[in-house]
Amino acid sequence: MLQAIGLTSTPRRDRPPAVRDLSVEALPGQVTALLGAAGSGKTTALRLMLELEPGRGLTYYRGRLLRQIAHPGREVGVLLGDVPGHPSRTLRGQLRMLGAALGAPAARADEVLEAVGLTGAGDLRLGGLPLGMDRRLGLACALLGDPHTLLLDDPGAGLPARETLWLHELLRAHAQNGGTVLFTTADPKEAARNTDRVVTLDAGRLVADQRAAEFARTRLRPRVAVRTPHAARLAAVLNQEARAARRAVEVVVEGGSRLSVYGSDCAAVGDTAFRHGVLVHRLAEEVGDTGVPATPPSASPALTEVVPAAEGPGEATARPNRHTAPDLPATPQRRPVRAPRRPVRYEIRRLLGLPSTWLVAAATLVVSAVLAVLLARGGGTPVPVAVAGWPELSPLPPAALGAGLLGALSFGDEYRHPALTSGRGAVPRRLGLLVAKLVVSGAVALLLGVLTVVLDLEALRLVYGGDLIPVPGNWPSLAAGWLGLAVGCAWAGVLGAGVFRATAAGVAAVLAVPVAVVPALRAVLTRVPTRPVTGLPARLRELLPTQWPTAGDRWLDGALRVVGQPVGVALVLSLASLLGAYLLTGLRRGARW
């Protein structure tokens, strides 16, 4: 059950509120239509119900506010506009990624695809979907969490008659299973045919709340649509004959050549036109819209609501509205939703579901192998430099650049193609989602670094032979520094894109380490005397109650030497600064941690 009480949007500049003191109730087991012309406030009303629009009022979902529901996606399914998502992602990949965010199993994606008639289309890309399939996918996303309530903004817009029929059969089935359905539409005929209740809006105000049968009797009337070049003459003779026969016939001139005749039929209108020699181009019986009911003038619209009267069907009366906007709390603007229930699984599916991930990884490996072969050709390049494929002209090796780019895409794609929030504001800036992105990007960077070294060594052995590629004696510290560089660049990309909300900013944060931070740090270190930390592992061992193995001293000493390098210090400083900026910007924007 959905209960919206006193919804009032915040006016912008000198314009009146798009929604004013709207109270709506949608019952379980029923389909309710929010009817209104373009600009009547239907979409704004839905956004107020979802706490996406600044304003006042309360909306209860089975007695609870949306902010009180632990997992909103499992209570409310939403379709607002087009389906958001990366155009290169497949339908199945999109649903599995969103399923991980909702905590739904991966098999749920195939279930909803079957439910909306897209069983064989799971491998299609989002960017190439026609309108009908796009709407079906939107419903699949709304049904993914098996919600009780569906809020749909004009779900049948632009669909052919067959697709519209299927859509309303699906909504009816959801209501028959005990769910609540509320959708907006501008077509009164669609509302009368496919709903149990029709709520009519005009200029953001509630003007009628009726059962579908009452709505059809009061709002929709049968008429005869006539098109003739002599509209005025035919209207005059029709009115003359109706008065003579004392029949209640109303003739309305719709335009220069169109008439609407109420209270008659095609046979009677055609006979009259024939007897008077009036040429008729079109004659058809249809259902006409009588227009939006007027708001009762006896009370202020902000303090009344129009409901069906008890005296008779279809009549409306005004009564004081006990829910007035000034007494209700304000709705927070664009409140970020909660982070995914399973953030690591969500991030893995987000990463692996895009072709760009595989392209970046493949390009990194190929470029690094080619550079390694070219650098080792002269014979004067050190083996570690050749294996890393790191020429002097490049600020970073290809593996570090590739890891940084993948890290930047982790947040950059979220902001460029938002799918996680589906129109619910900015990407949730919660620590759970950030940690998941750092963990996954770090693991990808480690894997990319190892694969790069293995592939480069094999390329060098293939081209120059194994005897010419000796293994350095200090390979453990070199390996630690190499993997630390890759992971640090990946994390810099993640944090940079998260702070500045763009992939390019994440890549810039990665390049800033060798281009700007390292030279500045070296200049400082050459002027300031430094003191070595020799023997620090042994001193730390003395402070701890338990003793670690002696081999741990060598590993800790090697890690300190790696971090103590200018590049390591620069990475640590950059990551600390970006993390602080991420936390500060999240707190400043009111994110829920």
Q: Is 218 helix (H, G, I), strand (E, B) or coil?
A: helix
Amino acid at 388: A
Stronger pLDDT, 425 or 206, i.e. the higher one? 206
Q: Rounded mean pLDDT of 533-545?
A: 60
Please tell me the distance from the alpha carbon of residue 340 to that of residue 318, in angstroms, as a whole number.
Answer: 45
Of the ranges 168-177, 251-260, 436-445, which one carries the lowest mean pLDDT score? 251-260
Mean pLDDT along residues 360-381? 89
Alpha carbons within 13 angstroms on the beta-carbon side of residue 558 total 15
Kindly report the CA angle at 402 between 398 and 408, in degrees rounded to 5? 145
Lowest mean pLDDT across 261-265, 270-274, 314-318? 314-318
Which letter does DSSP use for residue 514 in this model?
I
Ranked by mean pLDDT, which of 110-119, 382-391, 508-517 comes out on top?
A: 110-119
Domain boundaries, the chain: 2-217+295-331, 229-280, 343-588
3-state secondary structure 489-506: HHHHHHHHHHHHCCHHHH
The model's confidence at residue 521, banded by pLDDT at 50, 70 and 90, is: low
> Which has more confidence, 164 or 81?
164
Q: What is the mean pLDDT of residues 327-350?
A: 70
Q: What is the structure's pLDDT at 67?
A: 86
Residue 256: strand, helix, or coil: coil
Q: What does the pLDDT read at residue 489?
A: 93
| pLDDT interval class at 548 (50, 70, 90) | low
Mean pLDDT of 571-578: 87
Q: Which long-range contacts (CB under 8 A, 24 or more apart) does 66-70 make?
A: 67/335
* Cβ atoms 417, 86 nearer than 8 A: yes
| Rounded Cα–Cα distance for residues 274 and 234 (Å) | 10
What value does the CA radius of gyration of the chain take, rounded to a whole number of Å?
A: 34
Is the pLDDT higher at 587 or at 210? 210
- How many CA atoms does the CB half-sphere of 591 hold within 13 Å? 19
Amino acid sitting at position 541: R
The predicted structure's pLDDT at residue 216: 83
The mean pLDDT value of the chain amounts to: 82
For the segment 134-147, what is each residue's pLDDT rounded down to a tens digit? 889 999 999 999 99
Neighbours of 229 (CB within 10 A): 12
3 state SS of 178: coil
Q: Which residue has the higher pLDDT, 254 or 198?
A: 198
Q: Quick one: angle between helices 107-115 and 131-143, nearest 10? A: 130
Q: Using 50, 70 and 90 to split pLDDT, how confident is the model at 426?
A: low
Window from 11-20, 62-71, 495-504, 519-528 with minimum mean pLDDT: 519-528
Average pLDDT over residues 561-578: 73
**What percent of the chain lies above the pLDDT cut of 90?**
42
**Contact indicator for 332, 324 with CB cutoff of 8 Å:** no
Distance separating alpha carbons of residues 63 and 2, to the nearest angstrom: 8
Q: How many CB atoms lie within 10 A of CB 340?
A: 26
Q: What is residue 291's DSSP assignment?
A: -
Query: Residue 475 above 80 pLDDT?
Result: no
**Max avg pLDDT among 326-330, 390-394, 434-438:** 434-438
- The predicted pLDDT at position 223 comes to 84
- pLDDT surpasses 50 at 123: yes
Average confidence (pLDDT) over 527-555: 59
pLDDT score, position 27 = 95
pLDDT above 70 (res 324): no
Strand 180-185 versus strand 31-35 pairing type: parallel
Lowest mean pLDDT among 21-30, 288-297, 308-317: 308-317
Higher pLDDT, 43 or 246: 43
Q: Predicted confidence band at 58 (pLDDT cuts at 50, 70, 90)?
A: very high
Q: Which residues contact 178 (CB under 8 A, 6 or more apart)?
A: 28, 29, 148
pLDDT one-digit tens code per residue, 346-366: 999 999 999 999 999 999 999
Is 0.85 topped by the overall pTM?
A: no
Q: How confident is the model at residue 493 (pLDDT cuts 50, 70, 90)?
A: very high
pLDDT band at residue 71 using 50, 70 and 90 as cut-offs = confident
Burial class (CB within 10 angstroms; exposed 0-12, middle 13-18, buried 19+) of 400: buried
For residues 217-241, average pLDDT: 87
pLDDT at position 143: 94
| Top mean-pLDDT range of 128-137, 298-307, 405-414, 576-585 | 405-414
d(CA 374, CA 376): 6
Q: What are the residues whose beta carbons fall under 8 Å from the beta carbon of 214, sequence distance 6 or more?
A: 308, 313, 314
How far apart, in whole angstroms, are the C-alpha atoms of residue 579 and residue 18? Answer: 40
Contact 268, 299 (CB under 8 A): no
Cα angle value 131/133/135 (rounded, 5°): 70
Residue 255 pLDDT > 70? yes
Is residue 593 predicted with pLDDT exceeding 50?
Answer: no
- The CA distance from 64 to 58, in Å, is 10
Q: State whether CATH 1.10.1200.30 applies to domain 2-217+295-331.
A: no
| Residue 98 to residue 145: CA distance in whole angstroms | 9
Is pLDDT at 306 greater than 60 in this prediction?
no
592 versus 548: the higher-pLDDT residue is 548
Of the ranges 158-162, 270-274, 388-392, 581-585, which is most confident? 270-274
CA distance 455 to 483: 15
pLDDT at position 253: 84
Residues 487/398, Cβ–Cβ less than 8 Å: no
Amino acid 152: pLDDT: 95
Q: Return the pLDDT at 363.
A: 97
Q: What is the mean pLDDT of residues 368-376?
A: 91
Query: pLDDT band at residue 368, thresholds of 50, 70 and 90?
Result: very high
State the pLDDT at residue 527: 64
In this prediction, residues 536-555 reach a mean pLDDT of: 59
Share of the chain above pLDDT 70, in %: 79
429-456 b/e (C-beta count within 10 Å ≥ 16 → b):
bbebbbebbbebbbebbbebbeebbebb
The packing angle between helices 398-416 and 475-500, to 10°, is: 20
